[in-house]
Amino acid sequence: MTLYVKNMVCDRCVMIVRQQLENLHFEVKDISLGKVEVSPEPDAHQLQDIASSFQILGFELIDKEKDQLVEQIKNKVIELVHYSDLNEIHQSLMQLIADRLDKDYAYLSRLFSDVEGITIEKFIIQQKIEKVKELLEYGELNLNEISYKMGYSSSAHLSAQFKSLTGLSPSKYKNAGPIHRKPLDKLK
């Protein structure tokens, strides 16, 4: 049986969800961001136990098909933005997500906007800016290298987008003191 899990946004989340399910005596056959295949198939009581144990850890079982699809979109965006070199992707992220989910982009876009209250494009931009904040914090790359890695056409384009979301230029943000990044599952 496949379970869909909200708020799985990183490898640690995958590890924690796997551990919880194994503690509840389920075999995890396959696991990825937002999705877990378990055996044996849990009954209604076991599903409630899983949901309760996940809720304590900040995760949530998703049972509605539309909510599952929105969560899959979010997980694909996070996977692409945070775990890929965007400069190597030679098509629009939105179309790539639609292709990977084997769904029509217009349908996904309407569904996402209806459920989340923002467009997929704005969600992608928010994720990219959070990744830029992380890269700025590490201090290993200069702004030109960051803009290239994140798939921006120029550092000026990145700076403009960064400033419109944070109110600061990347350099002012970096020099502003303690960096305030948002958890990936709280971006909306």
Residue spans per domain, the chain: 2-63, 64-188
Query: d(Cα 18, Cα 82) in Å, to the nearest integer?
Result: 21
What is the per-residue pLDDT across 102-133, written as a single tens digit (0 to 9) for each?
A: 999 999 999 999 999 999 999 999 999 999 99
- Give the whole-angstrom CA distance, residue 147 versus residue 129: 11
Tens digits of per-residue pLDDT, 6-33? 999 889 999 999 999 999 999 999 999 9
What confidence category does residue 138 fall into, taking pLDDT thresholds of 50, 70 and 90?
A: confident
Beta bridge partners of 76: none
Q: Which CATH architecture has domain 64-188?
A: Orthogonal Bundle (1.10)
Record: fold of 2-63: Alpha-Beta Plaits (3.30.70)
pTM exceeds 0.85 for this model: no
Work out the pLDDT band at 186, boundaries 50, 70, 90.
Answer: low
Q: Which residues pair with 37 in a beta bridge?
A: 2, 30
Residue 185 has pLDDT above 70, yes or no: no
